[in-house]
Amino acid sequence: MLGAISVTHPASTTLSSWTYSRTSGNRLFLSGYKPRTVSMSLSNNRSSNKKQLEGESLYLGLDFGTSGARFAIIDIVGTIQAEAKRNYPIYLNGESRDWARSWKETLFLLLEDIPLNLRKHIVSISIDGTSATTMIVDSDTGEPLWRPLLYNESCPDALPAVKSIAPPNHTVGYDPEVDSYPSWLVCQPYSHLLPSVVAPGTPIACLKEELRNKFGFQKQCVVCSGTTDSIAAFLAARATQPGKAVTSLGSTLAIKLLSNTRIEDSRFGVYSHRLDDKWLVGGASNTGGVVLRQIFTDDQLEKLSEQINPSQISLLDYYPLPKAGERFPIADPELAPRLLPRPENDVEYLHGILESIARIEAKGYGLLKELGATEVDQVFTAGGGAKNEKWTKIRERVLGLPVSRADQTEAAYGTALLAIKGDQQNIL
């Protein structure tokens, strides 16, 4: 039996059952779960009327990003009790990187990193992963049947087949507005392999018995559906009003804007996620921290940034990409990186790169407005780039908007909030 998983993250298959599994005797899982439609909530209610249980109920959020993974453990009012991060170990399968093995090992290393005295109090777990990363697994064993297809991989050979069945400018996949796959996709002969879809924070199954025993989690600890890393970062920021946006400055740049209007346009890599009665619209560029680290060390970035005058406009015009290919605000799999000419002064060079990334961000928000989304009026920043104060001032000037670091900037915190949501509606 085969199943195609559009991740939350592949590591989730190790923890609990997937809702689309069509086998009743699945050997992997302690208990199954019948999918139901629930709404994703951005509520800022911290359950102040609920008595805090002094560590008796804790919630684990796991973030599997581009370059590494993190966990955050919070209590019912959102206070962080523990957090840690791990880089992915490098394993090779022939000439290609074995990502599935790296993710799985990192997952278990993170679980081991959780303090022993906290594990027994964790009642719910949720996981995020990079958007559009996909892996096909055997639904009986959970083992991958083919290497993962990563979020930043282009598949130009598949485009003719997709264009032959999809309407013009359609974003391929599940339609959150009508809670179903589009009819043109359902009628395909492989439609039985499409995964069932539930909202983020939906309880799926109890943690596998062998994992409970190995790590010391409680018997009723549940695994909940997760979301993408950039949406998790948005949830962490608790931006609850239309017009509020979150830019995630990690290895890549992703923008998310809370809008009253849904917009979708595959020409520009623009898509929307349902968020209660509103829409989380945005896109993800391949520019970001991964480009900076190709050129500078972390120590260089810190020291050079200190010397930048953020009020001064850089005349350098770059399009910083780690390699050819862009998703948003330009959808062009062959777009070449532009990082020349390089000035002799590294401060000037870094200034030009940071400002060029800010221009890409501004172009993204401008595009969302042009397509009909609610106009952005404030930007919160998440991810590692949120720590760079000079970059924040540059972006504030380029965007012409107030820009501030979110109180919580880690996607793992957002998935921990989803774990709270799942626990509160748990009927397993």
Residue 424 in tokens: 């509160």
Average pLDDT, the chain: 85
- Residue 333 pLDDT: 92
In this structure, which amino acid lies at residue 14?
A: T
Predicted confidence (pLDDT) at residue 170 exceeds the cutoff of 80: no
Distance CA 411, CA 172 (A): 25
Mean pLDDT, residues 168-181: 79
b/e map 356-388, b = 16+ CB within 10 Å: bbbbbbbbbbebbeebebbebeebbbbbbbbeb
Model pLDDT for residues 91-114, shown as the tens digit of each residue: 998 888 999 999 999 999 999 999
Mean pLDDT of 402-424: 93
User: Residue 19 pLDDT > 60, yes or no?
Assistant: no
425 with 405: CB under 8 angstroms?
no
Element (H, E) at 233: helix 229-237
Backbone angles phi, psi at 93, to 5 degrees: -120, 95
Q: Which residue has the higher pLDDT, 81 or 38?
A: 81
pLDDT higher than 90, residue 8: no
What would the DSSP string read from start to end of 130-162? -TT-EEEEETTT--BSSPPBPTT---GGGHHHH
Q: Is the pLDDT of residue 342 over 70?
A: yes
Q: Are 12 and 69 in contact (CB under 8 A)?
A: no
Mean pLDDT of 34-63: 54
CA–CA gap between residue 91 and residue 23 (Å, rounded): 32
pLDDT confidence of residue 172: 67
The conformational region for residue 32 under phi > 0 = left, psi -120 to 50 = alpha, else beta, is beta
Least confident of 11-20, 71-80, 377-386: 11-20
- Mean pLDDT over residues 192-197, rounded? 86
Pairing between strand 58-64 and 122-129?
A: parallel
**What distance in Å separates the CA atoms of residue 425 and residue 428, rounded to the nearest whole number?**
9
Give the residue from 140, 155, 134, 142 showing the smallest Cα distance to 9.
Answer: 134
Give the Cα separation of 268 and 261 in Å (integer): 17
Mean pLDDT of 227-241: 88
pLDDT surpassing 60 at residue 419: yes
DSSP class of residue 384? G
